[in-house]
Chain A
Amino acid sequence: MKPSEIVDLLKQQEFGDKILSFEENTFQPGIQINPLWIEDIFYFLRDDDRLAFDSLSCLSGVDYGAGKELGVVYHLFSMKHNHWLVVKVKLDRESPHVPTVEHIYKAANWHERETFDMYGIVFDFHPDLRKILLPDDWEGYPLRKDYQVQELYHGIKVPF
């Protein structure tokens, strides 16, 4: 299916007002959705036979620049129909919260932990939201554009 047809299908399912924008003329067309509805939309994307997005190929956090919002980008792929959909959510920088999709795609479990680790984005209702790559007591979120590295870590000078 073409991305425009996927979006039409989503609109027929009363998700129309939850889709905030649709970028069509890019390498991989994507939609931006309201983060509060992500579970409903993802369940539909996965379980509808015409769409059958069975795998979450990639989940990445993005910082759109200091002072701007944070984002999460989901690359969904259907092995059955061989089509893509990029789903984006944009989140408030001060309190970035988005519901988890871990129970829909198990692949999201570690990806979400990593995004939490690197961007401080909180995935609500995640069963095990701990830091994954950095030490548990590391301060700050390194991949944010305004990240300042801490001076000392357990008495060891960090910036070199």
Chain B
Amino acid sequence: MPHLKTEEMIMNMGPQHPSTHGVLRLELVTDGEVVKSITPHIGYLHRCFEKHGEELTYPMIIPFTDRLDYLASMNNNHAFNLAVEKLLNLEVPRKVEFIRVIVAELQRIASHLVAIGTFGADIGAVTPFLWTFRDREVILNLFENLTGARMLYNYMWPGGVARDFPKGFREEIGAFITYFRPKIRDLNNLLTGNHIFISRTAHVGVLPADVAVNYNCTGPVLRGSGVKWDLRKNDPYSIYPEFEFDIPVGQGTMGTLGDTWDRYYIRCQEMEQSLNIIEQALAKFPVEDATDVQAAVPRRIKPPAGEVYARAENPRGELGFYIISDGGTKPFRVRAKSPCFVNLAVLPALGKGIMVSDIVAILGSIDIVLGEVDR
């Protein structure tokens, strides 16, 4: 109906907008309510991580990695340490690996809770937001007990972790698992099957699998499109091969494969898988092992000249660190390949011919953290 075309309007969504999850500006070209094109403008939170990295020694960079994806600091620490340990050819004690996996999976649950809660709030369901933040609080309290910080931990160091589990900490995690399992069911009852929620998310923002791979989308965005790909299984690191867990993939249950609902539901399922991993890790935990968790941390970290690209499965996808060492105590080059940056790049491709209100749903389902997009 070309005669119904109205005059195009350019509209700014952001930089300050509750549904952009941070400081992000989307430049929309709209024709009435229909979006013709989306141009994201990022960089408002650029903090020169890579430039800082060249000026700092390796242990000093770890607090900076906390601040990339500030909802998943433990996972960021883990990815960075994987890279440094590869460069140093450092063997990590088995007990430390268990501690790392447990806290990384707890962090994944906490991060997914924020993703699910804010996604619901974006679409107009405020109750799940309060519920998920209530449960996340339990995890943050655990982390506060463990590290002294609630969000930015500086917990994992090359070859070790900062502190051993305090007394009774494993029992507290066990209690959290018993507490949290029914909460996932409640959340599914409240949000996942909600008729209004489904009508806002099903068939919206369909991302085909080949497009997702070509854009190198990772994490729930890729798995939502039906690609069974998880670095914990497919390119294993740490002690993940010892645990049994499934990789949930999108199936188009409520609409089309790869739609917003699929991406959302992946996160709900992944929380249960994380609980399974933690349970197994607690059961296998080397209780008798009295190794000092800092024993393997080198006094002076000075990797031989070389370069490495190491990656880990973060809640939002593949976080990679490309480090070039010239043999000094500071890296010659640190590159952080952030999953949010890459996943956000697919938004212009998804946002053609959709309604303005659907942008909020799509953006929420991609689940970006602007701290990591801008670095």
Can you show 16 pairs from A to B with CB atoms below 8 A apart? A26-B306, A26-B307, A28-B307, A56-B216, A57-B309, A58-B309, A58-B337, A79-B213, A86-B309, A107-B214, A111-B342, A133-B42, A133-B374, A133-B375, A143-B50, A143-B51
Q: Are B46 and A110 in contact (CB under 8 A)?
A: no
Knowing A57-B320, A58-B335 touch, does A110 contact B216 (C-beta < 8 A)?
no
**Which one of A55, A82, A86 has the highest number of Cβ atoms from chain B below 10 Å of its Cβ?**
A55
- List of A residues within 8 angstroms of B306 by Cβ: 26-27
A30 to chain B, nearest CB (A): 9
- List of B residues within 8 angstroms of A107 by Cβ: 214-216, 342, 345
A132 adjacent to chain B (CB < 8 Å): yes
- List of A residues within 8 angstroms of B43 by Cβ: 131-135
B324 adjacent to chain A (CB < 8 Å): yes
- List of A residues within 8 angstroms of B307 by Cβ: 26-28
Question: Considering only CB atoms, which chain B residue lies closest to A131 in the complex?
Answer: B43
B131 adjacent to chain A (CB < 8 Å): no
- List of B residues within 8 angstroms of A28 by Cβ: 307-309
Contacting A at CB under 8 A, from B302-360, are 306-309, 311, 318, 320, 322, 324, 333, 335, 337, 341-342, 345-346, 349
B86 adjacent to chain A (CB < 8 Å): yes
The complex places the Cα of A62 from the Cα of B334 at a distance, in Å, of 9
- List of A residues within 8 angstroms of B308 by Cβ: 27-28
Question: Considering only CB atoms, which chain A residue lies closest to B39 in the complex?
Answer: A128
Q: Are A142 and B213 in contact (CB under 8 A)?
A: no
B285 adjacent to chain A (CB < 8 Å): no
- List of A residues within 8 angstroms of B86 by Cβ: 27
The complex places the Cα of A57 from the Cα of B318 at a distance, in Å, of 9
Q: Are B216 and A60 in contact (CB under 8 A)?
A: no
Name A residues whose Cβ lies closer than 8 Å to a Cβ of B: 26-28, 54-58, 60, 62-63, 73, 75, 79, 82, 86, 105-107, 109-111, 118, 131-135, 142-143
- List of B residues within 8 angstroms of A135 by Cβ: 43
The complex places the Cα of A26 from the Cα of B322 at a distance, in Å, of 14
The complex places the Cα of A86 from the Cα of B342 at a distance, in Å, of 19
B229 adjacent to chain A (CB < 8 Å): yes
- Chain B interface size band reads 35 or more
- List of B residues within 8 angstroms of A26 by Cβ: 306-307
- List of A residues within 8 angstroms of B309 by Cβ: 28, 57-58, 75, 86
Name B residues whose Cβ lies closer than 8 Å to a Cβ of A: 42-43, 46, 48, 50-51, 54, 86-87, 211, 213-216, 227, 229, 234-235, 306-309, 311, 318, 320, 322, 324, 333, 335, 337, 341-342, 345-346, 349, 374-375
Could you say which of B229, B311, B341 contacts A57, with CB atoms under 8 Å apart?
B311
Main secondary structure of the interface of B (DSSP, over half): mixed
Could you say which of A62, A79, A105 contacts B229, with CB atoms under 8 Å apart?
A79
The complex places the Cα of A153 from the Cα of B311 at a distance, in Å, of 36
The complex places the Cα of A109 from the Cα of B216 at a distance, in Å, of 11
Knowing A58-B335, A110-B342 touch, does A105 contact B214 (C-beta < 8 A)?
yes
Q: Are B235 and A82 in contact (CB under 8 A)?
A: yes
A68 to chain B, nearest CB (A): 12
Knowing A105-B216, A106-B214 touch, does A62 contact B345 (C-beta < 8 A)?
no
A59 to chain B, nearest CB (A): 8
Nearest 3 Cβ contacts at the A-B interface: A107-B216, A133-B43, A60-B335
The complex places the Cα of A63 from the Cα of B86 at a distance, in Å, of 22
Knowing A60-B335, A107-B345 touch, does A134 contact B213 (C-beta < 8 A)?
no
B253 to chain A, nearest CB (A): 24
The complex places the Cα of A56 from the Cα of B303 at a distance, in Å, of 27
Q: Are A57 and B235 in contact (CB under 8 A)?
A: no
- List of B residues within 8 angstroms of A106 by Cβ: 211, 214-216, 345-346, 349
- List of A residues within 8 angstroms of B216 by Cβ: 55-57, 105-107
Q: Are A82 and B345 in contact (CB under 8 A)?
A: no
The complex places the Cα of A140 from the Cα of B307 at a distance, in Å, of 26
The complex places the Cα of A93 from the Cα of B331 at a distance, in Å, of 22
